Structure 1
Amino acid sequence: MSRTVAGHDEQRWRPRLAAAGALAALASVAVAAPAEASPDYSLAATNFAGTQIALHEGVVPGSARADTTDQTLGHDVSGHQGAVDWAAASAGGAKFTYVKATEGTGFVNPQYGQQYDGAHNAGMIRGAYHFARPDISGGAEQAEYFIAHGGGWRSDGKTLPGALDIEYNPYGDVCYGKNQADLTAWITDFTRTYLAKVKRSALIYTSTAWWKQCTGNASGFGNTNPLWLARYGPEVGELPAGWDKQSIWQFARGGGLPGDQNYYNGPFGRVVALAGGAA
């Protein structure tokens, strides 16, 4: 004899209850949010300061440099160059270098230790830079990632403040799918977070053409963040709005030397001063 539940035959209701449970399970699967795609870092190992600027703006080959009096030679490097012979770089006249540390919030230069510490061991002043990915996460988040993976600063007289490399997006829309106001706000979030955490203002690496196109030529950084300008020709040329001078000029790609070539805008004592805490 079968039992009854609330006056009904239990055996008669079991199939219906099972079917209702199956339908509920199917419904929960149907409404589940699709998994988010992982950020694309497929080019991270070959992205470095100026790769996209050279691609979009071109390089003037073999151009004679402008007056280099009181200019200090330096380089910048990233993981794609592998281990760097810093003793040779120093013997060739380089006094400082910037090393790529991170990209976005998911890539660390695998050569960072050899490049960053190797430059220091060769007696060069060195700093780290971050390849910006505003399409992946916020500016504050990327500043914190950068600091946590080598982008900080120490008061040893040999460490330059970190730099933000913000240039044409190698993965898609050149302005990372953001309008000018939002991209300017992203840069502000990065630089303010870096200053708050490290107590130094980050340099901003960019080109005038990109800055105009993607920030609307924002002028609010010139009094706070030293400019590291990329332009591959005989003259520095026009600066982005807000800056009356560049601190560093990346003037050439490679050239048989480790990394790209830069001039610090002043004698070596100015490089030492920046490392020591001067703006």
Structure 2
Amino acid sequence: MLGVWGLVNTPGQHNPEEEPREPVGSSESADATERRANPERPSNAPGASNGWQRSARGTEQFARDTAYRLRPVARRTTDRIVRWLRQVLAALATLTQRVVRWAAPYARRAHAWLIPAIEGVQRRIDPIVRRLRQRLSPVIEPVRQRLAPTAHRIRDELRPRVAKLRARLPESSGRHRAQLRSRSVQLTAAVAAFGVLAILVGTAGPDTGERTTPAAHTVELRSPDQAQSDQGGTQQDSSSGQDSASDQEQAENPDSDGSPEAKSSPAKPAVDIPPNAHGIDVSNHNGPIQWNKVAASGEHYAFVLATDGGNFTNPMFDQQFNGAKNAGMLAGAYHFGRPTGSAVGQADRLLNTMGSTEDGKTLPPVLDLEVSPNGGGCYGKTSGQLHSWTQSFLDRVKSKTGEDAIVYASPSFWSSCMAGSQAFSENPLWLASYGVPQPSLFGGWDAYSFWQYTNKGSVPGITGPVDRNLFQGSGSDLLELAQ
């Protein structure tokens, strides 16, 4: 019995033969063996991810099906939004056009009202600017004189350095060389600006335009102040030469008694007119003028008011017109146009007042176009009516004289009253533009002949301010305009 009971294990008794044995040569890890031996694995054990994968695939399929169903709805919604935006933009464009059409007359009237207001402000400011310039000139002039040598010295020192720098870059591209030249030019201009700013005190004035003009001729156009200062050295020689010539003429003509009749004989126009010659324009408001002093100061031509509208004639026209010629200057006559009357009748009045002009010293007739002196504006005319009136006036002058009349106007008048018409660009242009280094062109003109750059000029022989002008071209070009 004991032998039998000895062969039978009691519960809980260790029997090594009943333990599972690992097969020989098996590669299964202990952890794998443990999982196999203990099937009650935790939920996050490997092998339990199949459910999550099935859930992810289901969610992805649901999202894909939902996007497929919503795609037509999104497309229709997008199309509706685009159509709505197009309708809104079209409505805004139509509304904008209506507003522009509605506001255009008011804008034109406001513009016509603002021009006289601005000119009135300018007339009030000009005396202040002139007094300020007179007070500052004693202070600025010494500063300019002190800075001028320094500016020249700096420029002379920089020039060889720039030349050496350019010589070190022989293989540089054309663009780099252009940039280097531009830098040196800018530096030189900045240095020279010290002297220029010391003498320039600009006068205020409105100016509107579309583009800045190049030179009308091959002659370089300089600023009025520079041109006047360059002419200063030759004016005394010219005046002394004229005095010597008059003395020699008196010696060669002993019969001449020096009477007023003999002195008033027309003088031959000067042939040594410089490029970009200076000139003036006057009216009866300037009073008596000492034309010999005007000519000796370097003025080479004068425009004189002849007629105004349909009734007024300058009572001093003959005295001023012939006085300029007798002093050796060229002279021209201008008519202040008033489109409320007949264009042909006003053109005839101008030509009749001028009389015979085939003397080689008379510039072409001028039509002066400005806003109405009575409150500004365009005389209550449309741009088409003003265009027709101007064309009739110029055609009448052309038929009577064979010449193209000069048109005087400002950029503001041409844009507001003539609507920028380009129909008169074949006529010479005399434009008025104050306080700018270079005037702006308009109306299809690619160049101007005369530029009225100030109405507050000072000229010997004339009491009070006077309009000053600059001719754009050579002296021979100016003489070619004269009859």
TM bucket, shorter chain? 0.7 to 0.9
The structure showing larger relative contact order (alpha-carbon pairs under 8 Å, at least 6 residues apart) is: 1
Check the 8 A contact 1:236/1:249 in 2, yes or no: no
Q: Which range moved further: 249-258 or 174-183? A: 249-258
Q: Does 1:78 align with 2:283?
A: yes
Alpha-carbon distance, 1:56 to partner: 6.2
C-alpha change, 1:78 and 1:255, in structure 2 (3 Å) is same
1:234 aligns with 2:436: yes
Q: 2:369: which partner in 1?
A: 166
Contact 1:95 1:268 in 2 (8 A): no
Query: What secondary structure sits across from 2:285 in the alignment?
Result: helix
**Number of the residue aligned with 2:351:** 147
Deviations 1:72-110 (A, max 9, x none): 100000001111111111111000010000001100001
Closer, same or farther: CA 117–171 of 1 in aligned 2, 3 Å: same
SS at match of 1:215: coil
Q: Secondary structure at the match of 1:200?
A: coil
1:53–1:189 distance in 2 versus 1, CA, 3 Å? farther
Q: Distance in 2 between matches of 1:140 and 1:149?
A: 14
Where do 1:122-201 residues align within 5 Å?
A: 122-135=327-340, 137-150=341-354, 154-201=357-404
Gaps of 5+ in 1: 1-51
Which residue of structure 2 aligns with residue 21 of structure 1?
none
**Residue 173 of structure 1: CA displacement?**
4.7
Distance 1:86 1:254, change over 3 A: farther
Alignment partner of 1:87 is 2:305? no
**1:221-272 CA-partner distances (Å, limit 9, x unpaired):** 112x100000012323321121001100000113222431000101222111
Report the 3-state secondary structure (helix = DSSP H, G, I; strand = E; otherwise coil) of the residue aligned with 1:228. strand
Supply the AA of the counterpart residue of 2:472: N
Q: How does 1:95-110 map to 2 (within 5 A)?
A: 95-110=300-315
C-alpha deviation, 1:219, in angstroms: 0.1
CA distance, structure 2, for counterparts of residue 188 and residue 78 of structure 1: 25
Structure 2 residue 481 is the aligned partner of structure 1 residue 274: yes
SS in 2 for 1:97: strand
Asked if 2 retains the 8 angstrom alpha-carbon contact of 1:153 and 1:159, the reply is no
Aligned AA (1:268): G
Write the distance in 1 (CA, Å) between the matches of 2:367 and 2:358: 20
Partner of 2:280, secondary structure, is strand
**One-letter code aligned to 2:471:** Y
Mapped partners of 1:189, 1:212: distance in 2: 20
CA drift of 1:114 comes to 1.0
Aligned with residue 216 of structure 1, among 413, 419, 423: 419
More moved, 170-179 vs 202-211 = 170-179
Could you tell me which runs of 5 or more consecutive residues in structure 2 were left unpaired when the two chains were aligned.
Answer: 1-115, 130-200, 204-221, 228-274
Contact 1:101–1:146 under 8 Å retained in 2? yes
Name the CA distance, whole Å, in 1 between partners of 2:468 and 2:359.
Answer: 24
The equivalent position to 1:66 in structure 2, one of 203, 206, 223, is 223
Q: Is the 8 A contact 1:180 1:216 kept in 2?
A: yes
Contact 1:53 1:230 in 2 (8 A): no
Task: Please tell me the residue identity of whatever aligns with 1:63.
Answer: G
Deviation at 1:57, TM superposition (A): 8.7
1:52-71 per-residue CA deviation (whole Å, 9 max, x = no partner) reads 69826947854297376631
Distance 1:130 1:54, change over 3 A: farther
Match status 1:244 vs 2:383: no
Equivalent in the alignment of 2:471: 264
- Where 1:194 maps in the other structure, the secondary structure is helix
Q: CA shift at 1:168, angstroms?
A: 1.1
Distance 1:262 1:173 in 2: 24
TM-score by length of 1: 0.74
Higher relative helix content: 2
SS at match of 2:400: helix
The two structures have a TM-score, normalised by structure 2, of: 0.44
CA change 1:212–1:272 in 2 (3 A) is same
The change in CA–CA distance for 1:77 and 1:147 in structure 2 (over 3 A counts) is: same
What amino acid is aligned across from residue 228 of structure 1 in structure 2? W
Amino acid at match of 2:348: E
Match in the other structure for 1:55: 119
1:227 and 1:247 in contact (8 A); partners too: yes
How far apart, in 1, do the equivalents of 2:456 and 2:367 lie?
Answer: 20
1:78 and 1:164 map into 2 onto residues whose CA distance is 15
Segment of structure 1 superposing worse, 91-100 or 266-275: 266-275
The alignment partner of 2:359 has SS state of coil
Q: 1:111 & 1:88 partners in 2: Cα distance?
A: 18
Contact 1:161 1:275 in 2 (8 A): yes
- Distance of aligned partners of 1:252 and 1:153 in 2 relative to their CA distance in 1, 3 Å threshold: farther
Is this contact kept in 2: 1:86–1:119, CA < 8 A? Answer: yes
Q: Could you tell me how far apart the structure 2 residues matched to 1:54 and 1:128 are?
A: 28
Give identity over the alignment, percent: 36
| Whole-angstrom distance in 1 between the partners of 2:117 and 2:349 | 24
Matched residues in 2 for 1:260 and 1:58: separation?
15
1:95 counterpart SS class: strand
SS in 2 for 1:233: coil
Q: 1:232 to 1:173 in 2, by over 3 A?
A: closer
> Of Structure 1 and Structure 2, which has the larger fraction of its residues in strand?
1
State the aligned residue count: 223
Q: Is the 8 A contact 1:153 1:198 kept in 2?
A: no
